[in-house]
Structure 1
């Protein structure tokens, strides 16, 4: 059944950035970013390479620090990167609870998380035996095992083949609806952003250039009038085509 867009105004704030700056050398990669994201909201960040998307995500994850402005982020947060970043010397279930004591309690926690991503039978295998999609599902299970209020996704589907990517889109959407964290997804894929998000933010030149809420109900289909129109607008904001040029899926 189609799902309508939600109003998140009454939800707790998961991310609040005010005037955030990050400078490398003399170049401001982020130059006065103001963004607010609330619990349960799925937000995609689009922008050309080098425009600060990953830097912003790293600041949200606590892996980098801003040079100016104010950063407020939910304390319970997890990150999934483009590479699964599994420890090959540890079994799959141990990777899910990496950083925690390895005992019966954490084994149960890992097993539950692996069941959610469809890998319950893979708990005791070694990471090198997994496919790329399976390894990324383990990374997702590891992120969800922390019960995050904020889930950060740094192009987690980019290295996957087309069919696996579609399956991962569906899986992430299911898990998001079940757990309702705030999600911030960094992607270069305009279609992916429209299909998955409540809201799309375009960064360029270190600034927020466009911020729009997607009102189309889910599930969304490429080729729908609303989809095509939004795709054309986002491509125009990215400087790929002019706003009056038809875009084809």
Structure 2
């Protein structure tokens, strides 16, 4: 069962988290089976307001299943999850409607003042795309289309932002630019953020915490205390990278 509760009413997760913001996402004993196999098996999770969390794991480990449950797109077989009502998802594919201009895609599904063009253009300006407000999706590059998808998420002022491998289909240079953009936008807007990724470097560049999903549960929960802004390389970064790759079964030096 998915319960949606205003996060302000929750107590902090534990005494050790007393200096952190209130819990924005909480999941207890989540279990989800596919074909008789438990993909999630009694999983517990908490994410604080404003916290950026990266979720790693092997293919088929249940990362996207967990994200879909938190997004309200799937339901667990057992357990409960609490999330803010204001939550949005950015997928790997931008999922723009070809027959609508970019700005109309940004406010798709919104009503009244929230659906005005000026609101859309303001959101597009934040992602560096206001000059393409009246363009058609087919004319956008891959990076521009993903920026439009991000603007569509931000215009809803989410308290929970869910990112499902949003940069996986982009070229290396565009991916770096998008990583830096999402870092600055999340710092400015302050949502709780969960990104599903296969890229350890990406997780270390973006996240306050890195989680590793294995055997249906959170096997590793690592706080990342690297100073920001971050760059790859350096002794501390490389040590964390080596540790996480080892947890994923990748030998040192790969």
- C-alpha root-mean-square deviation of aligned residues, in Å? 1.5
Higher mean C-alpha displacement, 100-109 vs 37-46:
100-109
- Determine the structure 1 residue equivalent to 2:206: 196
Task: Identify the match of residue 26 of structure 2 among 16, 26, 35.
Answer: 16
- Determine the structure 2 residue equivalent to 1:81: 91
Structure 2: how far apart are the matches of 1:141 and 1:74?
A: 19
Task: Identify the match of residue 143 of structure 2 among 133, 142, 164.
Answer: 133
Structure 1: how far apart are the matches of 2:169 and 2:133?
A: 23
- Determine the structure 1 residue equivalent to 2:153: 143
SS in 2 for 1:48: coil
SS in 2 for 1:82: coil
- Over 3 Å counting, the alpha-carbon distance change for 1:80 and 1:9 in structure 2 is farther
- Do structure 1's residue 155 and structure 2's residue 193 form an aligned pair? no
Structure 2: how far apart are the matches of 1:76 and 1:8?
A: 24
Task: Structure 2 unaligned segments of length 5 or more: list them.
Answer: 1-16
SS in 2 for 1:84: coil
Task: Identify the match of residue 164 of structure 1 among 170, 174, 196.
Answer: 174
Aligned residues: 238
- Do structure 1's residue 212 and structure 2's residue 212 form an aligned pair? no
For the 8 Å contact 1:8–1:40, the answer to whether it is kept is no
SS in 2 for 1:45: strand
- Determine the structure 2 residue equivalent to 1:3: none
Higher mean C-alpha displacement, 97-106 vs 208-217:
97-106
Task: Structure 1 unaligned segments of length 5 or more: list them.
Answer: 1-6
- Determine the structure 2 residue equivalent to 1:184: 194
Task: Show the 5 A alignment for 1:111-130.
Answer: 111-130=121-140
- Determine the structure 1 residue equivalent to 2:241: 231
Task: Identify the match of residue 108 of structure 1 among 118, 123, 132.
Answer: 118
1:59-91 deviation digits (Å, cap 9, x = unpaired): 010000011112111111000000000000000
- Give the structure-1-normalised TM-score: 0.92
**What is the deviation of 1:9?**
4.2
1:35-70 deviation digits (Å, cap 9, x = unpaired): 100111000000000000000000010000011112
- Over 3 Å counting, the alpha-carbon distance change for 1:169 and 1:69 in structure 2 is same
For the 8 Å contact 1:84–1:135, the answer to whether it is kept is yes
For the 8 Å contact 2:107–2:114, the answer to whether it is kept is no
Higher mean C-alpha displacement, 94-103 vs 155-164:
94-103
User: After the TM superposition, which segments of 4 or more aligned residues of structure 1 sit over 6 Å from their partners?
Assistant: none
For the 8 Å contact 1:8–1:38, the answer to whether it is kept is no
For the 8 Å contact 1:94–1:102, the answer to whether it is kept is no
For the 8 Å contact 2:52–2:206, the answer to whether it is kept is yes
- Give the structure-2-normalised TM-score: 0.90
